Amino acid sequence: MDATTVLAEINGNIATVGYGLAAIGPAIGVGIVVGKTIEGVARQPELAGRLQVLMWIGIAFTEALAFIGIATYFIFV
């Protein structure tokens, strides 16, 4: 066995790595959405209702990516 094979050997299901990749984007996305909503409500508390709706639609789109990413576990072997 040569050195490259030994160093680059990976065991287990590569789909696990896929979940890790699928988690990065939504985590950053939801962090930005919620952080900016907190910022907006702190500046103008009377806009809380409008900002909540915008935050919710932002979270919905971001988490949809995560759901589809995790659910690929069903089809990728």
Partner 1 sequence: MTDPRPEPADRTPTSNPVLRKALTWGGVLAGVIAIVSASLGFVFDGTSGLVSGLIGTLMAVVFMGITAASILVANRFAGSDVFVGAFFGIVLGGWLLKFIAFIVLVVLLRDAAWLNPTVLFLSLVAGVIASLVVDVLVVAKSRIPYVSDVQLPKPPVDD
Chain residues that interact with partner 1, rule: CB under 8 A: 19, 30, 34, 38, 41, 45-50, 52-54, 56-57, 59-61, 63-64, 66-68, 70-75
> Shortest Cβ distance from residue 2 to partner 1 (Å)?
36
Which C-beta is closer to partner 1: that of 24 or that of 47? 47
Q: Is the dihedral of CA 51, 52, 58, 62 positive or negative?
A: positive
Enumerate residues 6+ apart whose C-beta is below 8 A from 41.
47, 48, 51
Residue 71: HSE in the Cβ half-sphere, 13 Å Cα cutoff: 6
Which C-beta is closer to partner 1: that of 8 or that of 77? 77
Which C-beta is closer to partner 1: that of 9 or that of 43? 43
